[in-house]
Amino acid sequence: MRLSRRSLLAQSAGFASLSLLPNMARAAPASRKVIFDTDPGIDDAMALLLLHGTPNIELVGITTAAGNGLIDTTTRNALYLAERFRIDVPVSKGQGASLDGVTSSPPVTIHGRNALGDIPLSAVHKKLDPRPAHDLIIDLVRANPHEITLVATGHMTNLALALRKAPDIASLVKDVVLMGGAFGHHDARGNVTPAAEANFHGDPRAADEICAARWPVTIVGLDVTTQTLMTDAYFENLRQHGGQSGRFLWDITRVYMMFHRGLGLDGIYVNDASAAAYVIAPELFKTQKGAVRVSTEGVTLGESVQKADGRVYPPGDWDNRPSVQICTEVDAEGVRSLFRKAVFQMA
C-alpha cells in the first residue's frame, strides 16, 4: 500500500495518528502573511526555512538587518537563500548602523566569516527590491491592513525606522514577534554582556521604541530559546531524510555546533527559529505580559526588563507604556518536531 505524502509527513513528525482523521475534520488553517526582518546568520536561515516550509505561512517580504554580519553580508545571504530555496518575494536592504549610528562587529567565531557557517556560496542573480527595508515594510503593511506579522530576528533598526516614518502602521499590523532580550526566566541573562542579548544590544534604542509602540508585540528571548537544543543526531536525521534543505542545514551548522560545544553544550540553542515557531504554533509557549524597557546607555546597554502586569511600584520609567508579551516557557520537543516537519515538507 502506498502511503500519502500527508501520512508520511505526519508519521515523521511523530503525529501518525493525525493521518487517520477524516479530511473534513482537519481543515487547513488560514494563511498568515509574514515579513521576515533578518540578519542571516545560521539561525536566521533556520527560521527562514521553518517559515518557508510551513504550508499556512505566506512570506510576503524579506528585509535585511545588521547583526550576524555587516549589512552587505546579510543582504547577500538573504538573496542567496531566497534564490536557492525559491522564495519568490521581494528582498530589501536595511540600514547597517543602529539608530545611534553604531556599526557592530559581526560574531565571526559563531556564524563564520560569511555568516552562513563558511560554506561555499554560489553567485546570486536575484535582484534587490529598490526600496529601503523600512519603506518595503510600510508599503506591504499598508497594502495588507491587519494581515501582516512582522518577525524580526536581527537588530531591530528597520522596524523602528518604519514606525518613525509611518506611525500609522502600528494600528495596521496584525502582530510583531521579536527574537531578542532576556528576562531572567530559567536564569537567562545576556549573551554578549552579562546584561544584554545580542539583537537588543546591537540597537537598543530601536528595541525600546518598538516596545513602546501601540502594536501587539511578543518577545521570544533567551528565556526560551536556550531551553531548546538541537543535537548532531537531530541534524544528521535532517541530512538523511530532509533533501536539499536537510543537507544545507547540516552544512551550515558545523561552525555553529563547534561554538556551542565550546560552551559545554551537546547541541545548539534554537534562537531565531524559536521566534518562527511561536508564529506557527504559539501553543508551544507560555507567556507573561507587562511593560518592557530596554536600556539605551551605560553598563546595562541593551538590557531588557519587564514590569509584569499587576505588580505595583512607585512611579517610574515603565509607566504609560503598552503591555508586551514575553515568552517564559517552551515545549522544546514540540519545537523540534515542528522544525523537522517543515524540513521534511520541503524534501
Q: Identify the three-state secondary structure at position 186.
A: helix
Q: Quickly list H helices, the chain.
A: 5-12, 42-52, 71-84, 108-111, 133-143, 157-165, 198-202, 204-212, 222-225, 232-241, 243-262, 272-280, 332-346
Q: Report the alpha-carbon distance of residue 78 to residue 128 in Å, rounded.
A: 10
The DSSP symbol for 220 reads: E
User: Are 340 and 12 spatial neighbours (Cβ–Cβ below 8 Å)?
Assistant: yes
Tell me whether residue 208 is one of the annotated catalytic residues.
Answer: no
Cβ atoms < 10 Å from Cβ of 131: 17
Place of cell 515542528: 338
Q: Report the alpha-carbon distance of residue 83 to residue 287 in Å, rounded.
A: 35
Q: Which three cell numbers stand for residue 341?
A: 516537519
Cβ atoms < 10 Å from Cβ of 338: 21
Provide CB contacts within 8 A for 79, sequence distance 6+.
Answer: 91, 124, 126, 128
The DSSP symbol for 65 reads: -
Q: Which three cell numbers stand for residue 278?
A: 511561536
Cβ atoms < 10 Å from Cβ of 286: 13
- Given the residues 37, 39, 139, 223, select the one marked as catalytic: 39
CA nearest neighbour of 152 among 56, 271, 293, 30: 271
Q: Report the alpha-carbon distance of residue 140 to residue 216 in Å, rounded.
A: 18
User: Within its chain, how far is the Cα of 109 from the centroid?
Assistant: 20
Catalytic residue annotation: 39
